[in-house]
Amino acid sequence: MFLHSRHFSRRGTAVSLTAVLAALATAGLTWNASATTQARTAARSVHTCTVGDLRLSLGRKEGAAGSLYQPIKFTNISRGSCALRGYPGVSVLDSKHRQIGAAATHSGRSYATVVLAPGHSASAVIRTTNGPIGGACRRTGSYLRVYPPASYKSVQIPAHWKVCSNLFQVGPVNTQGAL
């Protein structure tokens, strides 16, 4: 589809946008430019979540198709809304808080700003292989060190996490639970 192309002309973009808007109108839907602008302005006026605004925890590990996934949950514990945008920094630590191997790489998934109202959560999913499929496993860590997006302060979460086959990825913070 044309929207996935990185290079297209201005004329092609205008024609494509017109076609999309016409299809929406035919379906009885309308696009409200002012609502979109208001949503963007509201997201920009909310401060970026800090470590002090958040409680970090781990969701349930799940395995699928040779991979192991686990969400890192970011819950807003402050009195006001705050925003997260992008990827957290994640690394595995041993029981003495020393890093084991390299930090997680980004999954490459696109992302948007997530505004968290007080008490609400979003997550970033981490992934490794479910055993030594394409290489050995590192020793099991005791903690995950997590830097929320745009933060220079980290939180250490007790976790038994083992990176296998040199695959350690993290997805962006989102509300869909996607890697």
Q: Which domain holds residue 74?
A: 51-170
Question: What domain count does the chain have?
Answer: 2
- Pick the closest to residue 127 from 57, 64, 56, 74 (CA basis): 64
Which SS3 state, helix, strand or coil, does residue 13 take?
A: helix
Answer whether residue 165 is part of any domain: yes
**Are both 24 and 67 inside the same structural domain?**
no
pLDDT per residue of the chain (179 residues) written in tens, 0 to 9: 333 333 333 334 343 433 434 444 444 444 444 334 444 545 568 999 999 999 999 999 998 888 999 999 999 999 999 999 999 999 999 999 999 999 999 999 999 999 999 999 999 999 999 877 878 999 999 999 999 999 999 999 999 999 999 999 999 999 998 87
Answer whether residue 93 is part of any domain: yes
Is residue 178 left, alpha or beta, with left meaning phi > 0 and alpha meaning psi from -120 to 50?
beta
Side-chain half-sphere of 130: how many Cα atoms within 13 Å?
10
For the chain, where are the alpha helices, taking DSSP H only?
10-26, 33-45
Contact 169, 70 (CB under 8 A): no
**Predicted model pTM:** 0.74
**Are both 91 and 153 inside the same structural domain?**
yes
Please count the other Cβ atoms lying within 10 Å of the Cβ belonging to residue 150: 14
Q: Is the sign of the CA dihedral 39, 42, 47, 49 positive or negative?
A: negative
**Are both 58 and 120 inside the same structural domain?**
yes
pLDDT of residue 10: 38
- Pick the closest to residue 104 from 149, 58, 171 (CA basis): 171
CA distance 55 to 29: 39
Answer whether residue 114 is part of any domain: yes
Answer whether residue 155 is part of any domain: yes
CATH code at position 111: 2.60.40
**Are both 79 and 35 inside the same structural domain?**
no
Answer whether residue 179 is part of any domain: no
**Are both 28 and 56 inside the same structural domain?**
no
Answer whether residue 105 is part of any domain: yes
